[in-house]
Amino acid sequence: MSGPHREFERLTQQAAQCTTCPNMVDQSAVLGPGNGSIDSKILFVAEAPGRFGGARTGIPFSGDKSGDNFEALIAHVGLTRQDIFVTNAVLCNPLANGNNRRPTTKEIDNCSTYLESVLKLMNPKVVVTLGGVGLDAINRLLGTRYTLSEVIGKPQKTKNFTLLPLYHPSPRVTNWKRPLSVQKRDFKKIFKIASP
């Protein structure tokens, strides 16, 4: 096992034992082999594991409709789970009254060390944020102030990678804001940026 892989294993163990967020101590961190390949040059950053998706399966974007949409989008551009790495701004499922809720700023800050560590281990060529919370998490690490409405689908050069902010593939978004057909065109930009 190479150095980055050993480091990633340590990071997953650390995340599994984390009790920093009081409202999520009974949740499991979704970080491990199911996230994809840390050797990939493509990193996806979304919001948080969904209660019917990643929180249940242990694999980001799997087991629910958002996961089905995500699978369709990556397949459309010829990518597989082994070609990418997927993580979240917050590694555990935030709940309110048994339903998914938006992570708090504090929870995003608490998890930022994990996101920063993944970025350092991977050194990706492109970071694709899916939704506003994923973009907020990257903004906090970079010290930038990108807003989704201003930069949606527009590659942004940063010091170490190209940032591509996209919409989240949830049913609510695909039905009301950005249809899956348009998101498929957005995803083609990932392949162009990541290709040598």
> pLDDT tens, 139-179?
999 999 999 999 999 999 999 999 999 999 998 888 888 89
Instruction: Give me the residue label for tokens 């942004």.
Output: 156
CA distance 190 to 151: 15
Q: Which 8-state DSSP code applies to residue 166? A: E
Domain coordinates in residue numbering, the chain: 3-194
> pLDDT tens, 28-50?
999 999 999 999 999 999 999 99
Architecture of domain 3-194: 3-Layer(aba) Sandwich (3.40)
Q: What is the pTM of this model?
A: 0.96
